[in-house]
Amino acid sequence: MTHWIKKIIIVFIYVWGIESQDNVEQNIRVQTAYESGAVIINCTYQSQFPPTLFWYQQKANGIPKYMLNRVGKTGDEDKEFKDRFNAQIDTSSKSFPLMIQDVSVSDSAVYYCALQPTVTQTHSMLIQK
């Protein structure tokens, strides 16, 4: 009897996983910003459940570095990104925009938006003028 129950659970999880279709999307691939200005990098998401969303920064020839995450109105930031970088989940538009204030040349990087547990294959690159 126990063996039969395990098979039903596996089938149920498999079917649920196919239908969930959670994802993130970054439509703008390259953005330009001016030094000392502000820039917003957009990210939209689809999720059946309240999402946990992340932002990562990848500098040239580097690995993606964790910046911040949000679960509803709460979350945390890496101390390096605490002052000038901010993002809040907007449930009405299903968006998670990253705001960078007082932009500097050192902010030039690829920025990735991610939804737990999956990571998007799209990204936005910030180019400063």
**Each residue's pLDDT tens digit, 62-105:** 999 999 999 988 999 999 999 999 999 999 999 999 999 999 99
Tell me the C-alpha distance between 96 and 112, whole Å.
11
CA distances from 16 to 10, 64, 104 (A): 10, 30, 44
pLDDT at 126: 63
Mean pLDDT for 33-40 is: 93
Whether the predicted pLDDT of 125 surpasses 80: no
Phi/psi class of residue 21: alpha, beta or left (left: φ > 0; alpha: ψ in -120 to 50)? left
Global pTM reads 0.76
Question: Does residue 60 carry a pLDDT above 70?
Answer: yes
Q: pLDDT value at position 67? A: 97
pLDDT category of residue 15 using cuts at 50, 70 and 90 = very low
pLDDT at 120 over 60: no
